[in-house]
Amino acid sequence: MAIRPLLGHNAQLLPEPPLSDFARTLIRWQKSHGRHDLPWQGTRDPYRIWLSEIMLQQTQVGTVIPYYERFLARFPTLAALAAASEQEVLSLWSGLGYYARGRNLLRAARLVMDSHGGVFPRDPQAIARLPGVGRSTAAAIAAFAFGARAAILDGNVKRVLTRAFGIEGFPGDKAVEARLWRLAESLLPERDVEAYTQGLMDLGATVCSRTRPDCLRCPLAASCVARREGRTAELPAPRPKRARPRRRTTVLVLHRDGHVLVVRRPAPGIWGGLLGLPELPEGEAAAPFALRAFGCTVASVRDLAPLRHGFTHFDLELRPLLCEVANAAPALHESGPVWLKVSEHGSAPLPAPVRKLLQGLNVQASPAPAVRLP
């Protein structure tokens, strides 16, 4: 048995606190088979760890890595991020989705600089109070950056615990989630918390996957309730089915000489802070409004193929109208609507469906004859 020193006047040797079979198995597996070469591993820098954990919220590792590396190249320190503008942050975040994360990241960086003297807090509860963090993310940051003993419970961990211990019910239900939190806290080891925490994440991401769990490679297979009872496809229980609402909106693709008109979307809200296409006000007829939108003289209006985009709680259908602009109002400026080069859509802070629309936009550079407004 491992021993540890007890320092003091009557120093003696005490046994290391025992590990549960669950924790011991997971730690051993992680050290041999877990992930060890991710860009944010091998560091105790809380800024880098915090950035990675925020980006990994509801986003897969393979998607996050290039965004993480570009973000660090532009903002290598927390102070550099705190000094950035929201537009700079959202430009780098564009395409990663869940844009409130980017806005909250900037708010949190400024809060750490202003209220914590630029020193990232160590306590999980203090970290959880930062914008956009929350209990599980705070625990992961504290464990990896400071070795804190705190339980995590993200989607992957819920799936592992639900299957391993046969937990019934939808994990998003408050009562079920509370039970999972109690279980997660009871399983925490007294030592090797970093390996244990990473092991939970790795197991859920690479072995105990949602649709095709690889039980033959799972270190918990011998004791897993879901495997023993043949219920890996049933656990965790799915979200109760509800009809997903669908929203529809018409957007104007005001095009002139290889540019499109974009507007800053309000925050909070869908795609808040990003650049978007002007929307047709509810109750307005499409063609008349398009012809007089933003003081432009529009030569022609035609429908483009609709785009569909799924959010967590609803589906959005964008119905674009391509409006060829002959003459534009000269008053457009940076604080309001701006003309964006279609060729620069890749670097602009645009929502994914708008970027996709502009990427496929194939219009003539020369405008059609102008149609004067009555």
| CA atoms of 192 and 23, how far apart (whole Å) | 9
Q: What pLDDT score was predicted for residue 13?
A: 53
What pLDDT does 11 receive? 46
As beta bridge partners, residue 5 has 13
Q: What is the pLDDT of residues 46-100, one digit of tens each?
A: 999 999 999 999 899 999 999 999 999 999 999 999 999 998 999 999 889 889 9
Q: Measured between alpha carbons, how far is residue 306 from residues 283, 291, 316, 319, 356 in Å?
A: 19, 20, 10, 5, 11
How high is the pLDDT of residue 94? 87
Q: pLDDT at position 373, please?
A: 33
List beta partners, residue 338: 262
Select which of 53, 86, 194, 324 is catalytic.
53
Closest-CA residue to 71 (of 35, 42, 101): 101
Strands 307-310 and 12-15: unpaired
Give me the DSSP letters along 246-314.
Answer: EEEEEEEEEEETTEEEEEEPPSSSTTTTSEEPPBPPTT--HHHHHHHGGG-EEEEEEE---EEEE-SS-
Q: For this structure, is 279 an active site residue? A: no
Query: What 3-state DSSP class applies to 327?
Result: strand
Query: What pLDDT does residue 16 have?
Result: 54
Q: What is the mean pLDDT of the chain?
A: 87
Low-confidence ranges of the chain (pLDDT < 70): 1-19, 283, 286-287, 290-291, 329-335, 362-374
Q: Please give the structure tokens belonging to residue 313.
A: 């709680």
CA distance 317 to 332: 28
User: What is the pLDDT at residue 12?
Assistant: 52
What does the pLDDT read at residue 335? Answer: 53
CB 22 within 8 Å of CB 220: yes
- Secondary structure of 185-237 as H, E, C letters: HHHCCCCCHHHHHHHHHHHHHHCCCCCCCCHHHCCCHHHCHHHHCCCCCCCCC
Domains of the chain, each with CATH number or no CATH: 17-228 (1.10.340.30), 246-359 (3.90.79.10)
Tokens of 34: 């877990």
CA neighbours closer than 13 Å in the CB half-sphere of residue 109: 24
CA dihedral 156, 159, 164, 166 (to 10 degrees): 160
Q: How far apart are the first and last CA of the chain?
A: 90
